[in-house]
């Protein structure tokens, strides 16, 4: 169990404020326990996977997974809460939404910043998708938390090429500037777009990739850029620069 004072010492190392440090710390514990309990039946994906495994320079709040083999999810969540007690944190969970396509949980944890008030309870959203199988072979990666009391642990994570395809789908289907930032990060790493994989991801929404429509969807996120990302990214690039580089990069799919 880490104290508020001890947690605060990591501000200089990480560049995170205290609330973000608590989230990052507890995310690591939840991931560590969850992958031990599920025997790698989940594949870690999304923004937090990009941050923790692929070194994305953006703070990410939620945990996203794809189910690759069935297990009793409610039982695992109960065991997760039992394991959190071993770290010194009492917790509970509720099922926010359940669909044919997946389930969303909200973990409620009395974490390092809990001071007895309801307002200091920590909440962590977890989403598990059932709607489709992971296409590329998932990778086994080690995460090494910066915190001295947490050991390195293993996760099963989506290949970054497939995350790129899912980010393109997200750009078509929701209004979130973080998807643009994440896509920009991925292409700067030299990951090439796979049109077959992209269209496979778009199939669920009965869409196919169209460069003109894609560029339009990218441009629409400009209004959200500063507001959404200024507190999540230390050195946020200008949207026009990002849009230009993305447009140039995806010309090959035109």
Residues 52 and 154 both lie in one domain: yes
Q: Which domain holds residue 135?
A: 4-158
Of 112, 141, 158, which residue constitutes the final position of a domain?
Answer: 158
Compute and round to an integer the Cα radius of gyration of the chain: 19
Judgement on whether residues 197 and 101 belong to the same structural domain of the protein? no
Tens of pLDDT, residues 30-42: 999 999 999 889 9
Task: Give the number of domains in the chain.
Answer: 2
- pLDDT, tens digit, 9 for 90 and up, residues 71-118: 889 999 999 999 999 999 999 998 878 887 899 999 999 999 999 999
- Tell me what pLDDT residue 40 has: 81
- Give the integer Cα–Cα distance in Å for 122 and 142: 25
Give the pLDDT mean for 20-27: 98
With 90 as the cut, is the pLDDT of residue 187 above it?
yes
Q: What is the mean pLDDT of residues 143-171?
A: 98
Q: How far apart are CA 224 and CA 242, in angstroms?
A: 14
Q: Give the domain CATH number at 153.
A: 3.10.450.620
Q: Tell me: the pLDDT tens digits for 195-236?
A: 999 999 999 999 999 999 999 999 999 999 999 999 999 999
Q: Above pLDDT 90, what percent of the chain?
A: 89
Question: What is the tally of helices (H) and strands (E) in the chain?
Answer: 11, 7
Same structural domain for residues 175 and 109?
A: no
pLDDT of residue 154: 98
Entry pTM = 0.94
Q: State the Cα–Cα distance between residues 240 and 254, nearest whole angstrom.
A: 20
């Amino acid at each position: 169990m880490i104290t508020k004072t001890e947690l605060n010492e990591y501000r200089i190392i990480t560049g995170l404020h205290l609330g973000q440090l608590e989230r990052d710390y507890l995310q690591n514990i939840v991931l560590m326990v969850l992958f031990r309990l599920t025997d790698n039946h989940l594949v870690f994906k999304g923004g937090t996977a990009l941050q923790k495994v692929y070194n994305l320079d953006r703070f990410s709040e939620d945990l996203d997974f794809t189910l690759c083999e069935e297990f009793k999810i409610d039982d695992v969540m109960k065991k997760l809460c039992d394991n959190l007690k071993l770290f010194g944190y009492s917790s509970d969970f509720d099922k926010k939404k359940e669909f044919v396509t997946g389930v969303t949980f909200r973990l409620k944890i009395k974490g390092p910043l809990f001071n007895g008030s309801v307002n200091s309870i920590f909440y962590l959203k977890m989403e598990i998708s059932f709607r489709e199988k992971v296409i590329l072979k998932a990778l086994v990666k080690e995460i090494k938390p910066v915190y001295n009391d947490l050991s390195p642990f293993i996760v099963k994570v989506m290949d970054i090429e497939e995350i790129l395809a899912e980010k393109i789908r997200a750009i078509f289907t929701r209004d979130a500037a973080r998807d643009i930032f994440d896509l920009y990060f991925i292409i700067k790493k030299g990951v090439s777009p796979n049109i077959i994989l992209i269209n496979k991801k778009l199939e669920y929404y009965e869409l196919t990739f169209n460069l003109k429509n894609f560029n339009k969807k990218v441009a629409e996120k400009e209004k959200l850029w500063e507001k959404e990302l200024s507190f999540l990214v230390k050195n946020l690039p200008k949207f026009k620069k990002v849009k230009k580089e993305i447009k140039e990069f995806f010309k090959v799919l035109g």
